[in-house]
Amino acid sequence: MLRALLFDLDGTLLPLNQEEFMRNYFRALVPAVAPFVDKDVAIAQIMACTEKMIHNEEPQWTNEQVFWESFSAVSAAPLAPLKQATDEFYRTRFAHLQSASQRTPQAREVCNLANEKGYVLVLATNPVFPEIAIRHRMAWAGIEDVPFTLVTTMENMHYCKPSPKYFMEIAEKIGVSPEECMMIGNDVQEDGVAGKSGMETFLVTDNLLDRGEPVREFTHQGNLTELLEFVQGIPALTSTQRG
């Protein structure tokens, strides 16, 4: 029985021009950290540490800890003021990157309907950003007040997509078995791997990302309109079923 719906954010609930967003992101971030990091290598260092975070399989390290530990290994920058500078960037400048995104009312409709029907909601965005950045993007999507039981961030998660352990960790955190969860996303590889953990999957095709690597077949697929129709068709959970 389905009890929890896990939603990807970028490209799923939040239509996003990924290339434009990343270009603008680094264009804004690099000057913010330039007093501490060589601007000529800053992007390469950040990307390398992000890759370390994505591939980490050690359960005792949060993604945030992996990132900063990796950064200290590739840069002599003093971490305390660098962290302060990045925190300030996310507080004051990150919100200006909204122009690369578009809001769709269907995102809020889907989430609210699923919540009304008693399903556990998870914002299962790849946790490579701090919570403050994810909260900004939730606001861009118009879902900042949706009562998600869990929003995955670099501070509270120990794995990233496309590791199956990421999805297992979510299931453990929300107290629902993987077989009672459905991952909903637009990335064939990153979201499709949820099927390996036993979850159902729904491929959202509006902003499809597919690197061509073979994956387990999705159990459902369709555009956002069809996702809304799917949620309209699933039964409301009784108080007993909600657990």
Q: 128-132, 134-138, 207-211, 227-231: lowest mean pLDDT where?
A: 207-211
Going from N- to C-terminal start, the domains of the chain cover 4-16+101-242, 18-98
198: left (phi over 0), alpha (psi -120 to 50) or beta: left
For residue 187, give both structure tokens. 């990335």
C-alpha–C-alpha distance, residues 191 and 203, integer Å: 8
**Strand 181-185, strand 4-7: pairing:** parallel
The predicted pLDDT at position 134 comes to 99
| Domain 4-16+101-242 architecture | 3-Layer(aba) Sandwich (3.40)
Give the rounded percent of residues in the chain with a pLDDT score beyond 70.
100
Please report the beta strands in the chain, taking only residues with DSSP state E, as ranges in sequence order. 4-7, 120-123, 150-151, 181-185, 200-204, 220-222
At residue 7, φ and ψ (nearest 5 deg) are -110, 130
Mind listing the pLDDT tens digit for each residue in 121-157? 999 999 999 999 999 999 999 999 999 999 999 999 9
On the question of pLDDT at 241 being above 90, the answer is: no
Q: What is the pTM of this model?
A: 0.96
Average predicted confidence (pLDDT) for the chain: 96
Single-letter residue type at 219: T
Q: Which of 191, 197, 189 is nearest to 164 (CA)?
A: 197
79-87 average pLDDT score: 95
Residue 5 CB contacts under 8 Å (≥ 6 apart), including other chains: 114, 119, 120, 121, 122, 181, 182, 184, 231
Mind listing the pLDDT tens digit for each residue in 16-38? 999 999 999 999 999 999 999 99
